Chain A
Amino acid sequence: PKMLPSGCRPLHTSHPLSAPVANRPLSPHLPLKKPQLSATFSISHRIFGAALGAAIISIPLATKFSLMFDV
């Protein structure tokens, strides 16, 4: 068979090797995993942190700009 020069063979293909299957589960297979307390805490921790950060940033900005723009 024809050989590619050394170092040129792609390790990962950018196109699927087989025809796509409908509803093929994607990594990380979240529905297969049993919900665990640590994972639930981690997810809710990030959601809560993002919400708290948004509130800490936006409430002072809203008070500042409402003085300027609302009258």
Chain B
Amino acid sequence: MGIHEHVEGIKAHWAKNFSFLDYFKKVYGRDKPLPKWTDADVDEFIASDPVYGPQLKAMRESRKFALGGALVGGAHLGGIALKYSKAPHGVVLATGFGAICGAVVGSEVAEHWYQLYKTDKQGANLRFIYWWEDKVAGNQKS
């Protein structure tokens, strides 16, 4: 095997490893950003798509778990800091760190509660983005 084929193999390997970045390019790297959608638009998509609709709905429900976890984690670690720390900025930092850790734990609970590990999260989001793109284009034509 020559060096050229070897380099091609490495390129393919890393392109596969970093293929998840394609999602962010499609969602955030648009030349012209899509008009902002509302919760009603997302609900319309959820009702219309039998495969990705329930997945997107579960993902949106999982936000509550993350926010609740952030609340609990921030209150817990912030409370400990408030009780024992003499530095006011330490209380703020501890509350923030507790909120981040709580949000991660909460989203992990939601992952199992809704079995989100079985879903294609990027796929569900992208399917909605494409649906919204088509809807906006249709509205402009009519």
Are both chains from one complex? yes
Verify B122–A67 contact, CB threshold 8 A.
yes
Verify A70–B63 contact, CB threshold 8 A.
no
Q: Is A34 an interface residue (CB 8 A)?
A: no
Verify B24–A61 contact, CB threshold 8 A.
no
Q: How far is the CA of A19 from the CA of B53 in the complex (A)?
A: 73
The answer to whether residues A69 and B24 also contact, given A61-B100, A61-B104 and a CB cut-off of 8 A, is no
Q: Is the interface of B mostly helix, strand, loop or mixed?
A: helix
Output the least CB separation between B122 and chain A (Å): 7
Size of interface on A: residues with Cβ below 8 Å to B = 10
Q: Is A68 an interface residue (CB 8 A)?
A: yes
CB closest chain-A residue, reference B20? A63
Output the least CB separation between A49 and chain B (Å): 18
Verify B125–A71 contact, CB threshold 8 A.
yes
Verify A65–B66 contact, CB threshold 8 A.
yes
Verify A67–B104 contact, CB threshold 8 A.
no
* Chain B residues, CB < 8 A from A46: none
* Chain A residues, CB < 8 A from B24: 63, 66
Other contacts beyond A67-B59, A71-B56: 15, CB < 8 A: A61-B100, A61-B104, A64-B104, A65-B107, A66-B24, A67-B121, A67-B125, A68-B59, A68-B62, A68-B63, A68-B66, A68-B107, A68-B121, A70-B125, A71-B124
Q: Top 9 closest A-B pairs, CB basis?
A: A71-B125, A67-B121, A71-B128, A68-B63, A68-B59, A68-B62, A69-B63, A67-B125, A68-B66
Interface residues, chain A, CB within 8 Å of chain B?
A: 61, 63-71
A-B contact pairs, 7 of them (CB 8 A): A65-B66, A68-B59, A68-B63, A68-B66, A71-B59, A71-B124, A71-B128
Interface residues, chain B, CB within 8 Å of chain A?
A: 24, 27, 42, 56, 59-60, 62-63, 66, 100, 103-104, 107, 121-122, 124-125, 128-129
